[in-house]
Structure 1
Amino acid sequence: MEQNSPTYKKYIQILKEELIPAMGCTEPISIAYGASYVRDLLEDQPDRLEIEVSGNLIKNAKSVVVPNTNGMCGIAAAAVAGVIAGVTEKKLEVISHVSKEQKKQIKEYLQTKTVHVSLKNTPLTFDYQITAWKGNHSAVVRIANFHTNVVYAAHDKKVFIDRPIKNNAKSGLTDRSILNVRDILDFANTADLSDLADCLDQQIEYNSAISAEGLSGNYGTGIGKLLLSRNDDSLDIRARAAAAAGSDARMNGCEMPVVIVSGSGNQGITASVPVIQYALAQSASKEQLLRALAVADLITIHQKTSIGRLSAFCGAVSAGAGTAAGICYLNGGDYALISDTIINTLAVSSGMVCDGAKSSCAAKIALAVEAGLTGYQMALNHRRFPAGDGMVASDLETTIQNIGDLAHDGMKETDREILHIMTH
């Protein structure tokens, strides 16, 4: 790919938009960011908070531990943490530094102030509004489509931001429709690594660190440690365990950042950590690792483009296919082998649903990586699920689109039923 071409520049921009650090599950952390933002508008600590959220935000924030809150879960805890301790400029690391006194204040605020959470009537999967009051003064912030996209901000009657909202998770971001697997591989082969090093080096550093913390600490149900406790020291097991351990830590309040992909830390971990494990085991060069990570990240983003940020479809499935493609690329796989790997992976694991962020995400990640590695081994042995098997088409891009249609359109009723079950 020509490095001065508009397409090349867009690919670089997509990676820079997607590969950003976040501490904690991105949905509650986004709410903490919005609450910190509304407090700044109000120029005081509010007496009362009204939080209206779309259904998928309720689903993804209900059960996950909010970091730096002494183990609290949920939307109200995230919002109050943002009000008390948020540093708005840090965006998805908004509550990365919280003192002991502030943790005490978060608990006291929840016990003594009014924090009301309700379901927002909206066609958007990612949409919330926070209204804060202090005496006779009020402030409002609305964030939609992605985690830091402020579309409305006002203090009393003064409006600072009022952007039109499209029913499109990609609005406000670089056009992802240019992504396709053949061009992704061309980009990875020809990219100037100095254009990528900052975001990919940070991904390696942060995601490896939280994976190691998950394996050494005591988080959640310890899926990563459980996998390593078996009498199997194979590279596949180590890769699955390392990815699961990162989620073990992240879903259970670990106060360490993750570099996210497609708005998700779990997807960021899944897309990167197994590739890193394979590169280390095979003594791959730094250049080989960076190019393989670019493949894994971009293929994950490509799949998620038609699915959307949030849905009833588990994002680990997309990232599992992405990481398998990255491993295949690392080992010299060409377009045909990578194509077969992705198709095989999606044929195996595309039925996994998302029922919110929580401890069991680590187990789903382990399964998604296993499906990816199985798909890769099938491809190495010249085996590929044929066109017409379920959603498998005769070509890769149509197969990816079929999965996108299933997840975005076909699973809307599934999403509503999951939310109903979780809230009743």
Structure 2
Amino acid sequence: MKNCDVNYKNYLQILKEELVPAMGCTEPIAIAYAAAKATEVLGCIPERVIVEVSGNIIKNVKSVIVPNTNHLKGISAATAAGIIAGQAEKKLEVISYVTEEEKQKIKEYLGTCAIEVKMADTPFIFDIQMNVFYKDSSVKLRIVNYHTNIVLIEKCGEILYHKEATVSKEDGLSDKRLLNVEDIIDFANSVDIKDIEDIIGRQIEYNSSIAKEGLKNSYGANIGSVLLSTYGSDVKVRAKAKAAAGSDARMNGCELPVIIISGSGNQGMTASLPVIEYANELQVSKEKLYRALVISDLVTIHQKTGIGRLSAYCGAICAGAGSGAGIAYLYGGGYEEISHTIVNALSIVSGIVCDGAKASCAAKIAAGVDAGILGYYMYKNGQQFRDGDGIVKKGVEATISNIGKLAKDGMKETDKEIIKIMIGN
């Protein structure tokens, strides 16, 4: 693929858009961003707040710690953090710099300000509407489809900013429907390393740092440490442990940033850390690692395109299959090896549900990475799942398409039931 080709430019732009830094779980951070921006427009600290969110936002914020808040959880905590300490211009790093004094003010604000949380009646899976009030002034700000996509800013009844939004269409971002496994491999093989050096280099640096922190200290269920102490330090175990440890740290208050994929830090770590670990084991060149990460990242994004940002389907499964593809590439695999790795991995663990962001995400990540690794070794041993085996269809693209239908359409009712269970209805 030549660098003047449309696909080359599009694939590079997708990486630039998707591989961005974020601190903490991205759904509470999106709420903090909405709160910070609404407060900025209001011009003062609100005395009353109404937050209207879709069910999937409730699901992904309910049980996760909001960073830089002294371990507060939930929508109200994320809202208060954005109002008191948020810097809207930093977007998904909106509360990355919070002083001890501000942390105390966040706690005090939660005790004095009425923050009402409502479930929105909306067709959008990802929907946050922040309504802030001070005396006779008010601001309404709405984000839909993805974490920083503001579609409405209204102050005192006057519309300051508005753009149309389409359900399940990520307006303003590159068209990911052009992605396919064959072209992803072509792009990874031909991309000028200078074009991806900053993007991928930052991914390696940030995600490796939080994985190291997760293994060094106690976070969540400490899945990474459990894996290493139980199964030893073989590369297959380390690959799972590093990704799980990064997730445990991130879900449970660690204030280090990660590089996300498809709006998810967990997916960003799952797609990258196992590949990095295998690259270290195999002692491949820096260039080979970068190209392998491009494959893992884009394969993950490709799968998520048909599913959407949020779903009842665990996104770490997509990233686990992506990491398997990257590992296959490190071993010298081409289209055939990578395609079979993806299909095998998806056959094993598709069906793991997303019941919100929390400590158990780390264990699901370990399962997803394990399936990616097993998917590769199955093929190396002459084994594979074939057309007609359940949801598997002939060809990797047909199987990925089936996963999208399963997750987006087939699991709609599952998603609703999960949310009902989580909120006690």
TM-score when normalising by structure 1: 0.99
Provide the residue aligned with 1:57 in structure 2. 57
Distance 1:246 1:167 in 2: 32
Distance 2:52 2:299 in 1: 33
Which residues of 2 match residues 11-410 of structure 1 at below 5 A? 11-410=11-410
Distance 1:293 1:88 in 2: 30
Q: Which amino acid aligns with 1:15?
A: L
| Contact 2:306–2:401 (8 Å) recurs in 1 | yes
Q: Which amino acid aligns with 1:390?
A: G
Cα deviation, residue 169, structure 1: 3.9
Distance 2:363 2:9 in 1: 36
Q: Which amino acid aligns with 1:383?
A: Q
Q: Which amino acid aligns with 1:23?
A: M
Distance 2:383 2:160 in 1: 57
| Contact 2:221–2:359 (8 Å) recurs in 1 | yes
| Contact 1:59–1:419 (8 Å) recurs in 2 | yes
Moved beyond 3 Å, runs of 4+: none
Gaps of 5+ in 1: none
Distance 1:6 1:370 in 2: 35
Secondary structure of 1:72's match? coil
Q: Which amino acid aligns with 1:60?
A: N
Q: Which amino acid aligns with 2:27?
A: E
| Contact 1:22–1:259 (8 Å) recurs in 2 | yes
Cα deviation, residue 232, structure 1: 2.0
Distance 1:170 1:369 in 2: 28
| Contact 2:231–2:237 (8 Å) recurs in 1 | no
Secondary structure of 2:313's match? coil
| Contact 1:170–1:305 (8 Å) recurs in 2 | no
* Deviations, residues 237-271 of structure 1 (Å, cap 9, x unaligned): 01100110000100001000000001000000000
Cα deviation, residue 140, structure 1: 1.1
Secondary structure of 1:376's match? helix
Matched, 1:6 2:2: no
| Contact 1:28–1:75 (8 Å) recurs in 2 | yes
Distance 2:172 2:307 in 1: 17
Q: Which amino acid aligns with 1:100?
A: E
Matched, 1:411 2:420: no
Distance 1:405 1:266 in 2: 22
* Deviations, residues 109-128 of structure 1 (Å, cap 9, x unaligned): 11111000000011110011
Cα deviation, residue 393, structure 1: 0.3
Alpha-carbon spacing, 1:420–1:231, altered in 2? closer, same or farther (3 Å) = closer
Secondary structure of 1:229's match? helix
Cα deviation, residue 158, structure 1: 2.8
Cα deviation, residue 231, structure 1: 4.9
Distance 2:283 2:337 in 1: 22
Identity of aligned residues (%): 56
* Deviations, residues 169-203 of structure 1 (Å, cap 9, x unaligned): 42221000100000000000000111111111110
Q: Which amino acid aligns with 1:32?
A: A
| Contact 1:169–1:309 (8 Å) recurs in 2 | no
Distance 1:14 1:2 in 2: 17
Distance 2:354 2:221 in 1: 18
Cα deviation, residue 160, structure 1: 1.8
Cα deviation, residue 155, structure 1: 1.5
Q: Which amino acid aligns with 2:372?
A: G
Q: Which amino acid aligns with 1:267?
A: Q
Structure 1 vs Structure 2 CA RMSD: 0.7
Which shifted more, 413-422 or 163-172? 163-172
Q: Which amino acid aligns with 1:9?
A: K
Secondary structure of 1:230's match? helix
Cα deviation, residue 396, structure 1: 0.6
Secondary structure of 2:209's match? helix
* Deviations, residues 289-326 of structure 1 (Å, cap 9, x unaligned): 10000000000000000000000000010000000000
Distance 1:335 1:307 in 2: 23
Tell me the number of residue pairs that the alignment of Structure 1 and Structure 2 aligns.
424
Secondary structure of 2:122's match? coil
